[in-house]
Amino acid sequence: MNDPLTDRTADIFLKNEKVSAMLREIDRDGLLVLEPANFAWLTAGASAKGIADPAEHPALYLQGPQRWLLCSNVDTQRLFDEELDGLGFGLKEWTWHIGRGRLLSDLVHGKKAACDMPFNDCENVGERLRQPRRMLSAWEQERLRELGLAVAHAVEATCRNLERGDTEEETAGQLSHRLVHHGIQPLAIQVSADGRKRTYRRGGATPAKIEQTCVVQTTARRWGVHVTASRAICFGTPADDFRKEFDMACWVSAMQIASSTSRTKPGDILTTSSGVLRLGGFEHEWRYCPVGWLTGLSAVESMFTPTESLEPLEVGHAVVWQASIGAAAATDTALVTETGPQIITAPAPGLWPVRRIKVASVWVDRPDLLVRGEPAA
């Protein structure tokens, strides 16, 4: 079995090599890292938990083979004990009541420094870092798979155990508990009962009671990476309109996932899926909310749109496809691999109903509607 610390150290070293090559190319001495997504990327998944103020978030400074954590004295011990011990980071610390601004300014003063955000006279290289960050490393891909299994299990367990008459807020609380219990941070939880999703394609949770149908969706993070997944349930036989909407969401999401191969342009996938929707009588559904996006170290690395998503997918990209049709939705995260797309948030075998859908020559397993209990009165 591989040593996790050794694997993380190797992952950090490879990323530092990429940063060093970039700094040589643009003739800069070092890189100041302020964006949380880049902090997670360049530390192989370290997380600054419990910090509400962005101005107190830890930072990094990379110069050649050397790397430093820039941190408040409040958080230094915890970050090394829980996140960074043994990974080769030095420390530059600020005192909490002085703030990080002075330390950062002193650090880059008189240097030809770069930064991933606008800061003093540093060259802004945020866009240059975004491209390599989107290509998930082997370490990140394994963490993504582990997270996908855990999030899918949490969403499905929540749907299996909620009762008719529970509120959306109670359901969101149950899901949040399951995620946090396993060290997973929920970033967004959507619970949509009894057709509310037809009116509000994106929301949170309300005191509304679940009487017949419910769609539960979450975006969650651990080890620096993110996944998004949804599941849908119905108490009793689903109404014809909801069944039709959910069936279409399954078909469209299957086509989108099956098409997520290396060198395929997301814009082309959007064009094809809009054609499928038109033939199915749902021509305008794609206009009501985002259909897909790249994910990874940032929950949304880039949104897919018909006119702007012209860069092809590559091996190592993680994608979220969200087929939102009326009151139904089918949303999952997939990884682009050398052998084709791999669904990261796949339903648990034997614990959730699965529908096999053939797209061209590819079979795609989609989570089906879970029908439970007695019909609503």
% of the chain exceeding 90 in pLDDT? 92
Res. 377: pLDDT tops 60: no
Q: Which fold has domain 138-372?
A: Creatine Amidinohydrolase (3.90.230)
Res. 374: pLDDT tops 80: no
Average pLDDT over residues 288-306: 95
User: Please, where in the chain does CATH 3.40.350.10 lie?
Assistant: 4-131
Which pLDDT score, from 0 to 100, does residue 361 have? 87
- Residue among 178, 61, 70 at smallest CA distance from 115: 61
Average pLDDT over residues 165-184: 97
CA 249 to CA 255: how far, in whole Å? 10
CA 30 to CA 28: how far, in whole Å? 6
What's the CATH code, domain 4-131?
3.40.350.10
CA 154 to CA 218: how far, in whole Å? 10
Average pLDDT over residues 248-252: 96
Which residues, in sequence order, are CB contacts of 333 under 8 Å at separation 6+?
144, 148, 227, 228, 229, 295, 318, 319, 320, 343, 344, 345
Q: What mean pLDDT value characterizes the chain?
A: 94
- Give the model's confidence band at 42: pLDDT under 50 very low, under 70 low, under 90 confident, else very high: very high
For 104-131, what is each residue's pLDDT tens digit?
999 999 999 999 999 999 999 999 999 9
Q: Is residue 232 a contact partner of residue 242, using CB atoms and an 8 Å limit?
A: no
User: Please, where in the chain does CATH 3.90.230.10 lie?
Assistant: 138-372
Rg, Å, the chain Cα set: 22
Res. 2: pLDDT tops 70: no
Q: Which strands form 185-193's sheet, in the order they lie side by side?
A: 185-193, 213-222, 225-235, 370-372
DSSP helix, strand, coil percent of the chain (3-state; round to 5): 35, 25, 35
This model's pTM is above 0.85: yes
Q: What three-state secondary structure class fits 176?
A: helix
